Every structure is written in structure tokens, then in C-alpha cells.
Amino acid sequence: MKSLCKSDNIPPITFSDCDLVGIPDLHHDGLVISMQIGTANVRRILIDGGSSMNLILLDVLKAMKIKEGQITKKSSVLVGFNGETRNTLGEIYLPTYAKGVASYKRFGVLDCLSSYNVILGRPWIHNIMVVPSTYHECVKIPTDWGISNIKGEHELAQECYTEALKPSKTLGSNAPDTIRPDLVSFLKNKSSCFAWSHFDMTRISVDVSTHKLNIDTSFKPVQQKG
């Protein structure tokens, strides 16, 4: 009897300790890779199974020499974890190349500051049957010639995570449109010069940065009744 199972011709995808070489035993980093999108090799790509849309920054398209006129003006609403919403500028279709597997994908375009250049969500993951593992920091892809493996960039993932923790600042919000692009570009290039939190100010005394409770240790702790 002929099986109708779609996966009959797909070799099994497995992960082992061999995939953990060079990765710390305990980490909480996202899965960040580099991959060719369009004609460019794009870094800082976050693989996010929680995203229902593929996203790309407007600045990345500009670096690819893609004009805004090529973006279809079809805005979508993105909803964050805390309910905050943001609208995309529009959408654009771009080819992606993952270890020889080509796929033409729709991307929502965002004009904002982000530690990631691209987010590849479920549309990309499901379409080419990618199996990502954040623990093993790699993406495995079934191909006609076997299972291909894209290794995550662990140090870059940590860098992106650190940048994402920095509080966003609204600076020059009333600046004229003629200087806003130059101002944003300058601040991006000089972001490492700013102290975003006390972690960036290494010479602060521990006595100043540590919070202590004024409690007499000779008293026995008592739980209050509700």
C-alpha cells in the first residue's frame, strides 16, 4: 500500500551533542544567522517561530539599493507582547537563499531602530520545512541532497540581545525632515558612545548601585497574614 505521508521522501532531521560544539552549556540567546537575501549577504537575521510575518528594515533595503517606490504600500499591524502596535510601511517580495534552497518570500517593511536586520518567521520556516533549534544554535533544512545545516552566530546573538536591552530614546523627534536621516545614521554609528544603563558605567561604586534593605538581622522573620 502506498503511503500518502508527505515526509516519506524527507530524511529524518536530528540534533546531537555534535551540534553543540563551541556553544556554552547554558545560554538563553536567540538564533541569529547570516544568509543571502536578494543580492546581499545579510547578517543579524533572527529566526523567530513566534512571528507570523517575515520582517526587514527599511535601512537594509536602502543598503541593497532598493528604492522605496519598489515597496508595495500595503500596511500591516504588528502586535507586540505587551499589546503595543506598530504599522509596517508596506511589503516587498525578495528571494532568499539558504544552503542552495531558494525561496521567494514576502517581507513586511519596518522603519525603526532594531538590533536585528531581518526576522524570518513562520512563513519562511514552514515553507521550506526548516527545523530550527535555539538550544543547538542552528537551522537544519531538508534538501534533495540531504540535510543542510546553517550554524547560528553565537557571539552576534549575544551582541543583538545586549543591544535590545538598551532603552529606546526619542531624540530629535522634532528635527526637520532634511536632517533626520543624517541624525539617525549618526546616532546608530555612535550608539556605543552612550551610557544606556549603569552596566555601561563601569566605575560606579557598588555602594551606590546596590540596593539594601534596612533590616535588623537579630529579629526572626514573620510572615504577614493576608
- pLDDT value at position 119? 95
Tell whether 77 is covered by a domain: yes
- 171 and 113 in a single domain? The answer is no
Helices and strands: H and E segment counts in the chain: 5, 11
- 160 and 195 in a single domain? The answer is no
- 56 and 100 in a single domain? The answer is yes
Tell whether 222 is covered by a domain: no
- 199 and 116 in a single domain? The answer is no
The tens-digit pLDDT sequence of the chain (226 residues) is 444 445 557 778 999 999 988 888 778 888 999 999 999 999 999 999 999 999 999 999 999 999 989 999 998 988 877 777 889 999 999 999 998 899 999 999 999 888 899 999 999 999 999 999 999 999 999 988 889 999 999 888 888 888 877 766 555 556 667 777 888 788 777 776 776 665 666 666 666 667 667 777 777 777 777 5
- 112 and 200 in a single domain? The answer is no
Tell whether 219 is covered by a domain: no
Tell whether 2 is covered by a domain: no
- 147 and 185 in a single domain? The answer is no
Q: Which domain holds residue 155?
A: 10-164
Q: How far apart are CA 194 and CA 113, in angstroms?
A: 15
Q: What is the pTM of this model?
A: 0.68
Residue 61 main-chain phi, psi, to 5 deg: -65, -40
- 105 and 150 in a single domain? The answer is yes
Residue 117 main-chain phi, psi, to 5 deg: -85, -35
Tell whether 21 is covered by a domain: yes
- 114 and 77 in a single domain? The answer is yes
Region of residue 190 (phi > 0: left; psi between -120 and 50: alpha; otherwise: beta):
alpha
Q: How far apart are CA 189 and CA 129, in angstroms?
A: 37
Provide the domain count of the chain: 2
Half-sphere exposure of 58 (CA within 13 A, CB side): 17
- 27 and 137 in a single domain? The answer is yes
- 205 and 95 in a single domain? The answer is no
Return all residues near 65 (Cβ < 8 A) that are at least 6 apart: none
Please check whether residue 50 is in contact with residue 169, taking contact to mean a CB–CB distance below 8 angstroms. no
